[in-house]
């Protein structure tokens, strides 16, 4: 699988897979952390080893198939426990996870990271705040690409509450690094996503371009609201 490594700074890298999926490598003074492990890529540990010699750990922003491609390389990984059903039952993945929840901190060595719970896209979706770097690694909920909100584990009301919550954190980060779409994006995107999702929830569809498509055998509607596209049944 073709990929491109893009340095963000001297101890942070974006690994771009196929032009539509990305995951991240963060290094501290003591250890390094992969945030997600790709989709078709199965050698994320090898890729990380070319960038840092530090001991490597893995954290999942959530358990969807396009975030867990190299999980087989790791004996354990960090994940929110609310994501377990998606990871093990829906995605049929294996492995053991160490739970992380809202407010938990991981320190890579002079690089503290804080976990923020963002349910809606999936029940256990999380973002990772690089406290000193003032950067937010948002997974899928905050992006200007396509946001999946169909299926029993995804829910628009919960998604909007997560947007409201992360909006209250915005004085702690300057840039957002999503797993899809443009990268990085500015915190102002949160307001645009909140406005668009609110209009969608209230049935104010005049500002959306609506089309039908099929995703993984499910017929869904795609609502393009400018800030992002939302997929719903």
Contact status, residue 114 vs residue 127, Cβ threshold 8 Å: no
pLDDT tens, 192-214?
999 999 999 999 999 899 999 99
Its pTM stands at 0.97
Q: How far apart are CA 22 and CA 162, in angstroms?
A: 22
d(CA 175, CA 188): 10
pLDDT in tens, 60-105: 999 999 999 999 999 999 999 999 999 999 999 999 999 999 999 9
Between strands 96-99 and 76-79, the pairing is: parallel
The answer to whether the CB of 25 falls within 8 A of the CB of 1 is no
Q: What is the DSSP string of 89-138?
A: IIS----EEEE--TT-EEESSS-EEEEEE-TTSSTT-EEEEETTTTEEEE
d(C-alpha 144, C-alpha 185), whole Å: 8
| Cβ–Cβ under 8 Å, residues 83 and 123 | yes
Share of the chain above pLDDT 70, in %: 100
Reported CATH class of domain 3-232: alpha beta
pLDDT higher than 90, residue 10: yes
The span from the CA of 71 to the CA of 81, in Å, is 16
How many C-beta atoms lie closer than 10 Å to residue 64's C-beta? 24
| Distance, CA of 167 to CA of 50 (rounded, Å) | 36
- Predicted local distance difference test score (pLDDT) of residue 1: 76
Q: Where are the domains of the chain?
A: 3-232
- Identify the band that residue 152 occupies on the pLDDT scale cut at 50, 70 and 90: confident
Tens of pLDDT, residues 91-143: 999 999 999 999 999 999 999 999 999 999 999 999 999 999 999 999 999 99
Taking a C-beta distance cutoff of 8 angstroms, is the pair 143, 156 a contact?
A: no
Task: Name the nearest CA neighbour of 179 among 15, 48, 11.
Answer: 15
Tokens of 3: 């990929």
pLDDT mean across residues, the chain: 97
What is the rounded CA–CA span in Å between residue 119 and residue 112?
23
Residue 18 pLDDT class (50, 70, 90 cuts): confident
- Computed on alpha carbons and rounded to an integer, the radius of gyration of the chain in Å comes to 17
What burial class does residue 199 get, using C-beta atoms within 10 Å of its C-beta: 0-12 exposed, 13-18 middle, 19+ buried? middle
């Amino acid at each position: 699988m073709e990929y491109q490594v893009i340095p963000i700074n001297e101890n942070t890298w974006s690994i771009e897979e196929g032009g539509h999926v990305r995951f991240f490598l963060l290094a501290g003074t003591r250890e390094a952390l992969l945030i997600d492990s790709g989709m078709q890529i199965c050698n994320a540990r090898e890729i990380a080893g070319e960038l840092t010699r530090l001991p490597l750990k893995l954290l999942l922003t959530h358990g969807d198939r396009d975030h867990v491609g190299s999980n087989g390389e790791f004996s354990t990984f960090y994940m929110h426990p609310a994501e377990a059903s998606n990871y093990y039952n829906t995605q049929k993945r294996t492995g053991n996870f160490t739970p992380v929840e809202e407010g938990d901190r991981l320190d890579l060595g002079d690089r503290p990271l804080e976990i923020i719970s963002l349910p809606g896209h999936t029940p256990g979706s999380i973002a990772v705040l690089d406290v000193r770097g003032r950067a937010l690694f948002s997974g899928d909920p905050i992006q200007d690409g396509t946001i999946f909100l169909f299926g029993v584990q995804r829910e628009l009301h919960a998604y909007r509450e997560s947007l409201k919550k992360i909006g209250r954190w915005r004085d702690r980060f300057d840039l957002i690094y999503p797993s899809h779409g443009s990268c990085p994006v500015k915190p102002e995107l949160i307001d645009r996503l909140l406005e668009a999702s609110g209009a969608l929830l209230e049935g104010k569809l005049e500002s959306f371009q609506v089309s039908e498509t099929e995703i993984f055998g499910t017929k869904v509607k795609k609502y393009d609201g400018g800030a992002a596209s939302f997929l719903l049944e």
